[in-house]
């Protein structure tokens, strides 16, 4: 595998330039690329590999990760082909954004804030498609996209459509996180325009959104992750009102004195834990409640940057295999768990049998009782 990875980096350098340091290709403009080999296979007449590429940039809060499968007569040729796929699918869109060429203006209004984005995208990359003109995939969701963008400097959308006979795979990700409500806009296209009747076909496209102006968010990902990880542990130990008050004070301290951020973290932890452990299905939305408890503002999770940071902290917590009792004690304080119990009890009373996966909620309702609350 190491020899094949060496081929991968050699081909990356040929294509993009840069210098190799500590298992990364260091490029101009603050970019670097980490590459690896996920899988190899030797067939009678060809070598096949699946490579992974992670694009790092100081302005990204997450690396952009893209797999590329390729084949060739040798692994060196397969590595070169994988680099070509990576360039076509992702890198040329990044180059376009760096150059600032052919941008499309996308305005976004989020509560009382207005943001202007420049959108960059290249051609769709297709595999197995025959006798069909290419179609820009992002056009199917252009009316929806502004509702998923918030105050971050960078957002990237990955659209992936695949079909083989009756099997279909439709996935839309924003900054690496799956959006469960966007695939429906591709159902008709995949069913009626993609012909996978006798062979595998796939289409994918990256779209990069760059916000004009500086990112003025008062906290960074590391602050949220550290505060969330510590708050989870403290939540599991809370058994009295005094301990709860202490946990609140400590969460504010861990959040750099930001009461709004601390509140988001305390609300999102039990809701995300419930989603991940109960097995219910949940949409992309957040509902910010007003003082009267009504649903006043509808958001998307991708618009509230702390949400997916907290989710990463929760996933890390679960990976450490915590005691089931600790997880349960946190989950039971979530609105999601209460709704889950009500649905299960109602079904049981009516003589119906339902599984957790049968339950779907559009999103999480939450409330922050601070007048200066602003969505970051």
Q: Tell me the domains of the chain and their CATH numbers.
A: 1-99 (3.30.160), 102-216 (no CATH), 221-366 (no CATH)
In the chain, at which residue ranges do the beta strands (DSSP E only) sit?
19-21, 24-26, 31-42, 47-57, 64-72, 104-110, 113-121, 125-127, 154-164, 167-174, 177-178, 201-211, 281-289, 295-300, 360-366
Per the structure block, which two tokens stand in for 20? 């190799």
- Cβ atoms within 10 A of the Cβ of 214, count? 7
Cα(333)–Cα(339) distance, integer angstroms:
11
CA atoms within 13 A on the CB side of 284: 20
State residue 43's pLDDT score.
Answer: 86
Smallest CA-to-CA distance from 347 within 335, 359, 338 is with: 359
State residue 293's pLDDT score.
Answer: 64
- Cβ atoms within 10 A of the Cβ of 25, count? 22
Please name every residue paired with 297 in a beta bridge, in sequence order, or none if there are none: 288
Tens digits of pLDDT across the chain (376 residues): 788 899 999 999 999 999 999 999 999 889 999 999 999 999 888 999 999 999 999 889 899 999 999 999 999 999 999 999 999 999 999 999 999 999 999 999 999 899 999 999 998 999 999 888 999 999 999 999 999 999 999 999 999 999 999 999 999 999 999 999 999 999 999 999 999 998 999 999 999 999 999 999 999 999 999 999 999 999 999 989 999 999 999 999 999 999 999 999 999 999 999 999 998 899 999 999 887 766 689 999 999 999 999 999 999 999 999 999 999 999 998 988 988 888 888 888 888 888 888 888 889 989 888 888 999 9
Please name every residue paired with 203 in a beta bridge, in sequence order, or none if there are none: 126, 161
**Integer distance in angstroms from the first to the last C-alpha of the chain?**
42
- Where residue 255 falls (left for φ over 0; alpha for ψ -120 to 50; beta otherwise) is alpha
Give 228-263 as a 3 state SS string. Answer: HHHHHHHHHCCCCHHHHHHHHHHHHHHCCCCHHHHH
Instruction: Kindly report the backbone phi and psi dihedral angles of residue 39, in degrees, each rounded to the nearest multiple of 5, phi listed first.
Output: -160, 145
């Amino acid at each position: 595998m190491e020899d094949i990875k060496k081929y991968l980096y050699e081909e990356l350098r040929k294509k993009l330039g840069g210098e190799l340091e500590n298992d990364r290709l260091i490029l101009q403009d603050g970019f670097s690329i980490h590459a690896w080999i996920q899988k190899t296979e030797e067939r009678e007449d060809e070598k096949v590999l699946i490579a992974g590429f992670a694009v790092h940039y100081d302005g990204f809060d997450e690396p952009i990760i893209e797999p590329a499968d390729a084949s060739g007569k040798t692994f060196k040729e397969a590595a070169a082909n994988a680099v070509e796929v990576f360039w076509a699918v992702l890198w040329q869109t990044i180059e376009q954004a760096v150059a600032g060429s052919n941008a499309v203006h996308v305005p976004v209004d989020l509560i009382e804030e207005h943001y202007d984005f420049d959108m960059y995208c290249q051609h769709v990359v297709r595999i197995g498609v025959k006798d069909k003109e290419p179609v820009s995939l992002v056009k199917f969701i252009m009316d929806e996209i502004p509702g998923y963008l918030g105050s971050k400097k960078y957002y990237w959308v990955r659209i992936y459509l695949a079909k083989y006979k009756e099997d279909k795979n439709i996935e839309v990700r924003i900054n690496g996180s799956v959006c469960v409500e966007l695939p429906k806009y591709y159902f008709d296209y995949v069913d009626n325009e993609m012909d996978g009747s006798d062979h595998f076909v796939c289409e994918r496209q990256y779209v990069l959104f760059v916000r004009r102006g500086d990112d003025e968010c008062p906290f960074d990902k590391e602050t949220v992750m550290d505060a969330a990880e510590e708050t989870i542990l403290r939540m599991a130990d809370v058994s009295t009102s005094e301990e709860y008050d202490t946990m609140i004070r400590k969460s504010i301290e861990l959040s750099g004195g930001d009461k709004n951020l601390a509140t988001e973290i305390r609300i999102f932890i039990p809701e995300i834990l419930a989603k991940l452990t109960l097995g219910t299905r949940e949409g992309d939305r957040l509902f910010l409640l007003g003082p009267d408890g009504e649903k006043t503002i509808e958001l998307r999770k991708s618009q509230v940057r702390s949400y997916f940071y907290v989710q990463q902290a929760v996933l890390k917590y679960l990976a450490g295999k915590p005691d089931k009792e600790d997880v349960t004690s946190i989950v039971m304080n979530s609105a999601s768990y209460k709704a889950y119990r009500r649905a299960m009890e109602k079904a049981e009373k009516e003589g119906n049998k339902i599984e957790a996966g049968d339950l779907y909620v559009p999103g999480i309702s939450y409330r922050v009782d601070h007048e200066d609350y602003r969505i970051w």
